Structure 1
Amino acid sequence: MTRPLRLVAVSGGLQRPSRSAALAAHLLDLISDELPCEQRLVELGQLAPQLAGAVWRTHLPDAVERELAAVEQADVLVVATPVFRGAYTGLFKHFFDFVHQDALVDKPVLLAATGGSERHALVIDHQLRPLFSFFQARVLPLGVYATDKDFTDYRLQDEALIERARLAVRRALPLLDLAQEVVVA
């Protein structure tokens, strides 16, 4: 018997509502439409007061530890962050600094980011890919970048972006199917 994939998304957005969280949720839904999944969305903005001052993982409160464990135990990971000064948010990096360095080896990771304009679109390739390459994750072929104008009331509205998100998931399916086979084995 096959258990559903543990599909976890991490949003580096600091506010609620968040365009990054909305993009992450959209990608979670697209993947869940294709494969049986248990979804979980980790919103770092909600963890900020408990996370920001910690230096060692042993000092983290249980709520943050549960979210880190969910990321480490995920079968598939979706990450989305707003662009802040040309990179992911500091809180996003701080959270991933606590992830065990071997926890994401070979884990499929779909990269996404949001920003005020198209000029930040390379954050996926110049910032996120190197971070998840350090973890030896299987970074999925297409990332998804959205700007403020792609949203209306924190919902994706731009058809070209919606199609790119679908394409990113379609191209990822062979790797996600492999992840599902590992779950079965």
Structure 2
Amino acid sequence: MSGLKIVAVSGSPTAPSRTTALVDDVARNVAEQVDGEARLIELAPLLGGLGQAVWRDQLDPVVQEALDAVEQADVLVVGSPAYRASYTGLFKLFFDHIGQYALVDKPVLLTATGGSDRHALLVEHQMRPLFGFFQAHTLPLGIFASEADFENYRVMSDDLRARIDLSIRRALPFIRAGAADRDALAGASRADAF
């Protein structure tokens, strides 16, 4: 199962960002557990390239490469700060350019950040339906973090650390099953070649 590509996507329009810190932390922890490689995609620097295109083929190469990385990932860790009771427009704009069937059955760990816990349902009521459209496999426990969980844009709260650990523990069986399916398909493809 080694070699899994874990891609984290931060939908924060600002830097530094608690959302970026959270998705990066979670992705690195997942990668450690599965002997994979974590990659962080921050959407803030891509805003100019995203905002000037209606169709995917109009996007600049840097944005295209980020979209390709998401579509080719074995596992996604996605996150957005709460903006007006939902994910950011930047987050939605990016995922508007993902192929409709590119995320089918892909494990997706959902995260969000907000000023207070009153935004905690963002994960369940906004993010989970978005990835349901893509037929992605949203993992059982999402992670919500508030400003109090961070210090200098780093995860510092013991409670948040415990939520991250539990979420990853619950996700691992699905991630491992997906990797085993992928490996079996690759083996069948090699056998078919002979």
Could you say whether these structures have the same fold, taking a TM-score greater than 0.5 normalized by the shorter chain as the test?
yes
CA RMSD of aligned residues (A): 0.9
Who is 1:52 aligned against? 51
What is the count of residue pairs matched by the alignment?
184
Q: Deviations over 1:66-111 (max 9, x none)?
A: 0000000111001010010000000100000000010000000000
Contact 1:5–1:183 under 8 Å retained in 2: no
1:3, CA displacement in angstroms?
A: 4.9
Alignment of 1:73-92 (within 5 A): 73-92=72-91
Deviations along 1:132-174, one digit per CA (max 9) or x if unpaired, are 0000000000000001111000111111111000000000000
1:36-185 alignment, distance < 5 Å? 36-185=35-184
Question: Of the two, which has the highest radius of gyration?
Answer: 2
Q: Does the 8 A contact of 2:52 with 2:59 survive in 1?
A: no
Partner amino acid for 2:98? V
Distance 1:174 1:3 in 2: 15
Normalising to structure 2: TM-score of the pair?
Answer: 0.92
Whole-angstrom distance in 2 between the partners of 1:128 and 1:135? 11
Q: How far has the Cα of 1:118 moved from its partner?
A: 0.6
Deviation string 1:112-133 (CA, Å, 9 cap, x unpaired) is: 0000011000000000000000
Task: Give the aligned partner of residue 32 of structure 1.
Answer: 31
Secondary structure at the counterpart of residue 78 of structure 1:
strand
5+ residue gaps, structure 1, are: none
SS at match of 1:172: helix
Q: Which amino acid aligns with 1:23?
A: L
Structure 2 unaligned spans of 5+: 185-194
Q: Where in structure 1 do 4 or more consecutive aligned residues deviate above 4 Å?
A: none
Inter-partner Cα distance in structure 1 for 2:182 and 2:37: 13
Provide the rounded CA distance (Å) in 2 between the counterparts of 1:14 and 1:174.
33
Among the aligned pairs, what percent are the same residue?
A: 51
Deviations 1:45-82 (A, max 9, x none): 01111111211101000000000000001110010100
Q: Which residue type is aligned with residue 107 of structure 2?
A: P
State the one-letter code of the partner of 1:68. Answer: L
In structure 1, the residue matched to 2:19 is 20
